[in-house]
């Protein structure tokens, strides 16, 4: 067990829960995935073929009804040029400046009507 100072463990658990909740936001993950796919110029069926899944699976990921499995992420992330933190949490610190700006613009364009960009 990790040694924590007084009150530090409680704060650590709050942070973990917040990260877990963010990773469960399937619509946000879907919007980020769609933006990254469009940015690299892939169609859903091309991404599906490269990830060894059906085009319906990619549609479900982007619609926010399912998320990719770990084995699919291993093929998906390098192809899109993004990392897991960005895809699941929206944390763009691991991306270079140009990629960060292009993705932010693409997400703004793919946001659902009435939704604020991520």
Residue of 97, 90, 117, 96 whose CA lies nearest to 106 = 117
Is 44 inside a domain boundary?
A: yes
Summarize the confidence of residues 98-114 as an average pLDDT. Answer: 76
Is 7 inside a domain boundary?
A: no
Is 38 inside a domain boundary?
A: yes
| Residue positions counted in the chain | 118
84 contacts 77 by C-beta, under 8 angstroms: yes
Is 8 inside a domain boundary?
A: no
- Among 31-35, 82-86, 87-91, 113-117, which is the least confidently predicted range? 113-117
The values of phi and psi at residue 58, to 5°, are -65, -40
Q: Helix %, strand %, coil % for the chain, to 5?
A: 65, 0, 35
Give the number of domains in the chain.
1
Is 5 inside a domain boundary?
A: no
Is 51 inside a domain boundary?
A: yes
The pLDDT, as a whole number, for residue 107 is 85
| Residue 34's CATH number | 1.10.260.40
Q: How confident is the model at residue 109 (pLDDT cuts 50, 70, 90)?
A: low
Is 36 inside a domain boundary?
A: yes
Residue of 91, 36, 81 whose CA lies nearest to 58 = 36
Is 4 inside a domain boundary?
A: no
- The parent domain of residue 41 ranges over 24-109
Alpha helices in 3-96 (DSSP H): 8-23, 26-39, 44-51, 55-63, 70-80, 84
The pLDDT, as a whole number, for residue 61 is 96
Q: At what angle do helices 44-51 and 55-63 cross, to 10 degrees?
A: 110
């Amino acid at each position: 067990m990790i040694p924590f100072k007084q009150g530090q463990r409680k704060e650590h658990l709050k942070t973990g829960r917040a990260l877990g909740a963010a990773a469960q936001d399937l619509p946000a993950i879907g919007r980020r995935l769609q933006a990254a796919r469009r940015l690299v110029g892939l169609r859903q069926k091309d991404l599906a073929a490269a990830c060894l899944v059906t085009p319906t699976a990619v549609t479900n990921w982007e619609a926010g009804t399912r998320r990719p499995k770990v084995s699919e992420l291993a093929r998906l992330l390098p192809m899109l040029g993004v990392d897991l933190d960005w895809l699941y949490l929206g944390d763009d610190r691991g991306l270079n400046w140009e990629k960060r700006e292009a993705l932010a613009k693409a997400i703004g364009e793919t946001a659902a009507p009435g939704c604020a960009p991520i």
